Structure 1
Amino acid sequence: MDDVSESARNGGFADLNQGHRERLRERVRLGGFAGLPDYELLELHLFRTFPRGDVKPKAKALLARFGSLGGVLGASIDELKTVAGIGASAALDLKLVHESALRIGRESIAKRPVISSWSALLGYVRIALANEAREQFRVLFLDKKNQLIADERMNQGTVDHAPVYPREVMRRALELSASALILVHNHPSGDPTPSGQDIDMTRQIIDAGRSLRISVHDHLVVGREGVASFKALGLI
C-alpha cells in the first residue's frame, strides 16, 4: 500500500472515531448518563485524556482487568498502568474521579452527626474501601456531638490482614479529643463477614477505650458484596 492510500485509510479511521465520539456525546446531551453502559461512561472520560483515536478497547480492557467501574476507579495508579494503553496521565485522570467521589462522600457526613446520616456513611466507606486490593484499617474519630473530627488510616496490610494496635488508636483519639469512634476495615475477598480475629481486635479496642471514656459506636467491614455492621449483627 502506498503512502497516499495509507494516509487516506488512517484519515478514514480518524473520521469514524470522531463520528463515534460525537454520536456518544449527543446521546448524553439528549438522554443523560443513566442509560450508558459502564464502558461508554469510561469512554467519555477517556476522550479527555486521548483527544484522538478509538478508546473503546481501553475502556473494555480496564473493566475486564478490574471487574467493575468501581474496581477501575478504586485501583491504584500503578495497577491502572498495567492495562495496555493506560499511561501515567490516564491513570491520574481516573484517580481524580475517585478522589472527587471520596470528597463528596466525606462532605455528606462531615457537617452533621454521623449516626443520623448512616446511609451516607455506608456509601462513603464503600467508595473508599470496597475495591481496595489490600486490607486497610481506618478510624472515624467523632466529637461529643458525634460529628466527624477526622477519618484516618491507621494501617494498611496484606490481602487478608492489617495489624492494628489498640493503644495507637486510643493515643490518636486523645490527641484529637475524640469522644467516640467508628472502626472501618475492608475485606479484599469481597465477603464482609467479620472474622474471629476481627471480633477479638474490636473487643480489645473497646476495652482500651472504656477507661478513657471513649466509646466505639460500631465496626464496619466493607467488601464488594456489601457492608457488615458489628452493631447490627449484635457483636457490639
Structure 2
Amino acid sequence: MEQTAGAAWADGGSASDGSVRARGEESAEESRERLFRLGAAALTDPELLCVVWNPGPRAPGARALARTLVTHGGGLKALAQEEPLALSQRPGVGPVRAAQVLAALELGRRSQHARERRPKLRTPREIAGYLAPVLGALRREVFHVLCFNARNVLLHDVRVAEGTMNACPVDPREVFAAALTARATAIVLAHNHPSGDPEPSIQDVALTRHLVAGARLLNIKVLDHVVTGDGGYVSMLERGLLPDETQETGRAWSANGGGE
C-alpha cells in the first residue's frame, strides 16, 4: 500500500486511498490547505509525513526525504518499528524529526485502541481486535495479562514481560501478581510474534499449561492464550490447546464459566 502511495507522489497519480490526485511537488503549506479542505485521508503517506515535519521554505529537501523514507524504507509500518536512535541517524532525519514521526505514528496506533476504558471482551476475536493496535507494530515479543471480572469486563491490561524478536521469558509470579492486584476472576494471556506468524510454538504451549495449572491453585480461570501476528491471531482455546474444561466452550467464553 505504501509503495502505491509513493508512486502516486512521484508520478502525480492517486493518493493512497484513491480519493484525490496528489501533486508531485506541492509545498507543505499546500498539503496542509488540502488537508483542511478534503480531510487527512486525501493526502498520501509522504505528504502526511511532510506535514508532520512542518518544513518551512528553508527546508526544500523535506519532501524528498519523506518520499524516500516511505517508498524505500518499507512503508509506515516499518517506520513505526524503527528504534528511535536508528531512525534519528538516517541522513536528513535527526532526533527532532525522528521524534515527530514516531509520536505521530504512536498517536495513530492509540486512536485505533478500544475507546471504552473498561471494555467488555467476550470472544477470542474481540481480544485479538483489542490487542492489534497494541501489539501490531512491535519488533520485540511482549507478554500481556488481561484481567477480567465475572462479567467479562476488562479490569486491567498489564505487560508483564518484554523479550527479543523471537523469545520472551515470562515469570509466573508477574503473571499472577497482575491478576491478584486487579482482583480478577479470570485472565487471558497474550503475546505477539514479530515474525508475523501467529502459530504457537512448543514453548508457548508448555508455558500456557504451566500457567493454567498455577492459576487453578489461585482459583483464577485462564480463559485463553491469544498469539498475534501480522494481521492475524491464533487462539489456543479454539485450537484445543488449553488443558482445561474451557475446551468445551464454543465461539465465546465467559469469566464466570457460563456461555453467552
What does the per-residue CA deviation read over 1:81-106, in whole Å, with 9 as the maximum and x for residues that have no partner? 23222222222222323443454445
Give the Cα–Cα distance (whole angstroms) in 2 for the partners of residues 116 and 108 of structure 1: 18
Cα offset, 1:19, TM superposition: 5.0
Indicate yes or no: 2:97 matched with 1:97.
Answer: no
Q: Which runs of 5+ in 1 are unaligned?
A: 1-16
Identity, % of aligned pairs?
33
Q: Distance in 1 between matches of 2:171 and 2:69?
A: 36
Range moving further from structure 2, 64-73 or 159-168? 64-73
| TM value normalised by structure 2 | 0.71
Counterpart mapping for 1:40-59 below 5 A: 40-47=47-54, 50-52=55-57, 53=59, 54-59=61-66
> 1:202 — aligned with what?
208
TM-score (norm 1): 0.77
The residue that corresponds to 1:108 in the other structure is: 115
- Determine the structure 2 residue equivalent to 1:33: 40
Q: For 1:75 and 1:206, how far apart are their aligned partners in 2? A: 35
Corresponding position: 1:84 with 2:98: no
Cα distance in 1, alignment partners of residues 231 and 25 from structure 2: 38
Alignment partner of 1:235 is 2:241: yes
Alignment of 1:147 with 2:149, yes or no, is no
For the residues of structure 2 that align with 1:19 and 1:132, how far apart are their CA atoms? Answer: 33
- 8 Å CA contact 1:191, 1:225 repeated in 2: no
> 1:59-84, CA deviations, whole angstroms, 9 ceiling, x for partnerless residues?
23433575231332343322322322
Change (3 A) 1:110 1:86: same
Q: Name the CA shift for 1:190/1:116 in 2 (closer, same or farther; >3 Å).
A: closer
Q: CA RMSD in A?
A: 2.8
Give the direction of change, closer, same or farther, for the CA distance of 1:57–1:29 in structure 2 (3 Å limit): same
- Matching residue of 1:172: 178
- Structure with bigger helix share is 1
Corresponding residue for residue 4 of structure 1: none
**Secondary structure of 1:145's aligned partner:** coil
Once the two structures are overlaid, the 10-residue window that deviates more, 209-218 or 19-28, is 19-28
- CA positional deviation for 1:161: 0.3
Q: 1:19 to 1:67 in 2, by over 3 A?
A: closer
Aligned equivalent of 1:22:
29
Q: Secondary structure of 1:110's match?
A: coil
Tell me by how many angstroms 1:118 deviates: 5.1
Displaced runs of 4 or more, over 6 A: none
Give the equivalent residue in structure 2 for 1:3. none
Bigger drift between 155-164 and 223-232 goes to 223-232
